[in-house]
Amino acid sequence: MAAAIAISIAVLAGALRGEFVYDDLSLVVQNPSLRSLDGLFASFRGPYWDFARPEGEQLTAYWRPLASTALFAAMRVGDGAPWAFHALSLALHAACIALVFQLARHFFERPLPAFAAALIFGLHPVQVESTAWIAAANDPLAALGVLAAAVSFVGWRERGSRGLPLTAAFAFFLGLLAKESAAAWLLLAPVIDVALPSSSGASRPRLRAYGTFVAAFALYFGARCWAYGSATGGLDLASAHLELTPLRELTLRIEMLGGFLGLLFAPHELNLFRDVRPVIASFDRQLLIAAGWSLAWLAAVVIAWRAHAKVALAGLLWLVAALAPLFFDVESLGRCAISERFAYIAVAGVALLFAALIARMRPTALAVSAVLAIGGLAGWKSHGRVPFWRDEETLFTAAAEASPKSPYVYWGLGRVLLTRFRSTLEADALDRALQAFSHAQDLGGTDEKGKRDESVLVTLDDRLQANVGYAWCILLCEIYMQSECWGDEAEPLFRAIAERFPKSAEAYTGLGIALAQKGDLEAGIAELERATRVNAKSREAWFNRGYLLARSGRIAEAVESLARAHEIDPTDRETSLELSRALADAGRSGEANQLLATLRETAPTDPNVWIVSSVVAAGERRLTDALAYVDRALQLDGMIGDAHLQKAKLLYELSLLDRALPAFGRACELMPSSFEAHYQCGRVLFALGAKKEALPYFERAIQLAPDGKFVEELRPKIEEARAAQ
């Protein structure tokens, strides 16, 4: 058992280096339930994703308080670092491997088959998604409850089935609190009985045994009803609205069953995003392959039954029983109904089947060779899959290759690339983002004949996100790369999106920024206020509203808006920095410094933290501290124009004009569109008597702000400088 665990964890250990990706950002980084005990208790009173939805939006069918508790514990252990959450997933996986070993040990005299079962369970490529992706940690957690119930139930049977299987029922109940898929145990318990020899007491009271598990499920369902305030316990809610025909719902279930069986026995095509196809052809290739796998499984069940191969039969039945909850309501699975993480518990069936095969092999050397060969192949595949989860850009880039017809994947890739552009200003990132959003739009559009590929799943949200992302690319190009843009298109694009999607906070946020970029701050603020009314949980809307309010001089309102953004996501560094500036401007330097002190501890390598610290210190006339802070920023990154400008202003304040001049000059080089840098550089040159050299800086300043308040001051200086020529 120890060997199986050690080998499996060694193969998957690379996951510890992974960052927060995809749903991790919402479920962990921005989840208020993980920040305090009050938040954790709140997770018991509502759906799993309730915190992320706009007010009034439909709830989800997910109620997983034990999963929230586990993530809360990981948050405390690692102080929010991703390694602690990955360590949690690997620890849960290790515990499940141990339970699979113990379960198999009950059915075989030799330890080798149990080792084979544990090894194949631990190394199966399907398991990578649940162990390397933090958001999927609830799958091994739910499996832990189911497998613990199985081991306890077998022990109870072997002891003569006296009393009630309360330990197994309690483990089952905990599994349900982790994820709804644990409900599969209601079918898996009879499957366990199939594998047990008649002498073990398997034929003894089934009603008493299974009735205990039904009672545990009833208790769980009652708790759900309390949490949702509904007699249905939220099980009637759908995560996706696929609008499938009855026939397509039937064929989808066939496609799912065969698809999962194919993944379990031949996991060569791993893919996070397998979109449901709304419409398929009558003799669709994937459907036919799925039907083939289903028929092969059925034939194997008949063969095992006739051969009285009880453990093999139990393994085969376990596969489908573990997947059964998925077929209850396909809408509750979301757009990717065939996801590898959904098969986590089902892998135990493959493990039992493999163990039964190994148990029949003779001589032992052949059996050992088979275990090492299959285990080695599975380990190689799993090890190669782990880097997929390293970071968001790696994930979505690879996903786009695997799912070229998914608009969801492409606008997700565009979002990641836009984030990179905002932090690096790399033109290539913006260009790739524009291409990704454009491709997502094309997938939802029609061809030259006006026809659309109906096999491509395109939701209203896909259309919204693709269009919003495209418009953001245009807007950011206008802001940062004016010379490479082809016109003033962002504002009309966002306005058109807002008209089509009047409940989209993203559209109003983009429109607000686009209007502000054109110089209409008040109109921009009004659109951002509308965005906050549409979705009061939108950090972006509150942040940008606060940013514009600060620019317009309404500092008190800016602080209020930025504080709201910070409350929604206290981990967002940009929000914390802007709030610090606003607090300092509002005369609340103590609060600003407290926030900045925390940032300097948690993000000491972020130059922006030191730049804002310098600005706040300068406002308090702590010029020596301010200079030290900005020097630290320049040590981290000497290519930040704001840092050079801040240092130049500090040196100017200290009357060190000779040292301030080169810093102003460097700021102008790095920020050719900065009025302040050119204006201040010209002033210093003028003060030093270099009037002729000051002229181009003054002229550039007026060009950048022809209606600025300093224009009248500059004109006589420009005339004097021209006369000096």
Average pLDDT over residues 430-444: 94
Per-residue pLDDT tens digits for 116-129: 999 999 999 999 99
* 3-class secondary structure, 60: coil
What pLDDT is recorded for position 330?
84
- In degrees to the nearest 10, what's the CA dihedral of 396, 397, 401, 403? 10
CA atoms within 13 A of residue 560's CA, in its CB half-sphere = 7
pLDDT recorded at residue 468: 95
Percentage of the chain beyond pLDDT 90 is: 71
Report in angstroms the alpha-carbon separations of 9 from 13, 119, 268, 379.
6, 11, 21, 10
Class level of CATH domain 604-671: mainly alpha
Q: Check whether 54 has a pLDDT greater than 70.
A: no
Give the residue extent of every domain in the chain.
2-232+244-386, 604-671, 677-725
Give CA separation, 428 vs 190, 248, 389, 432, in Å: 58, 42, 23, 6
**Could you tell me the pLDDT band of residue 152, with boundaries at 50, 70 and 90?**
very high
Q: Distance between alpha carbon 123 and the CA centroid of its chain, in Å?
A: 24
Residue 201 has pLDDT above 60, yes or no: no
User: Using CA atoms, how far apart are residues 168 and 153, in angstroms rounded to an integer?
Assistant: 6
431 and 441 in contact (C-beta within 8 Å)? no
Averaged pLDDT, 305-325: 95
For residue range 582-618, list pLDDT tens digits in order.
Answer: 999 999 999 999 999 999 998 999 999 999 999 999 9
* pLDDT value of residue 646: 94
The neighbour count for residue 306, using CB atoms within 10 Å, is 9
Cβ neighbors of 354 (< 8 A, separation 6 or more) are 116, 117, 120, 315, 374
| Gyration radius from the chain CA atoms | 31
In this structure, what token pair is assigned to residue 23? 């749903």
Instruction: Render pLDDT for 4-25 as a digit per residue (tens, 0 to 9).
Output: 999 999 999 999 999 999 999 9
Contact 73, 88 (CB under 8 A): yes
Task: Work out the number of other CB atoms within 10 angstroms of the CB of residue 601.
Answer: 9
Per residue in 123-154, is it b (16+ CB within 10 Å) or e — as a string? bbbbbbbbbbbbbbbbbbbbbbbbbbbbbbbb
C-alpha separations of 302 from 81, 519, 655 in Å: 50, 75, 92
In 3D space, the residue among 4, 115, 84, 10 whose CA is nearest the CA of residue 386 turns out to be 10
Per-residue pLDDT of 617-642, as tens digits, reads: 999 999 999 999 999 999 999 999 99
Q: What is the mean pLDDT of the chain?
A: 91
Q: Supply 653's token pair.
A: 């304040």
Structure tokens given for 344: 């986590």
Give pLDDT tens digits for 489-544.
Answer: 889 999 999 999 999 999 999 999 999 988 899 999 999 999 999 999 899 999 99
Burial class, 230, CB count within 10 angstroms (exposed 0-12 / middle 13-18 / buried 19+)? middle
Do the Cβ atoms of 199 and 166 come closer than 8 Å? no
Task: Tell me what percent of the residues of the chain surpass a pLDDT of 70.
Answer: 96
Average pLDDT of the residues in 184-203: 81
Q: Is the pLDDT of residue 239 over 80?
A: no
Q: State which amino acid sits at residue 425.
A: L
Q: What is the pLDDT of residue 484?
A: 57
For residue 164, which phi and psi values (nearest 5 degrees)? -120, 145
pLDDT computed for residue 585 by the predictor: 92
Return the minimum-mean-pLDDT range out of 35-49, 332-346, 349-363.
35-49
Q: Is the pLDDT of residue 258 over 90?
A: yes
Q: Are 68 and 48 in contact (CB under 8 A)?
A: yes
Tell me the CA distances in angstroms from 675 to 173, 213, 495, 657, 710, one per residue in order.
64, 72, 29, 19, 10
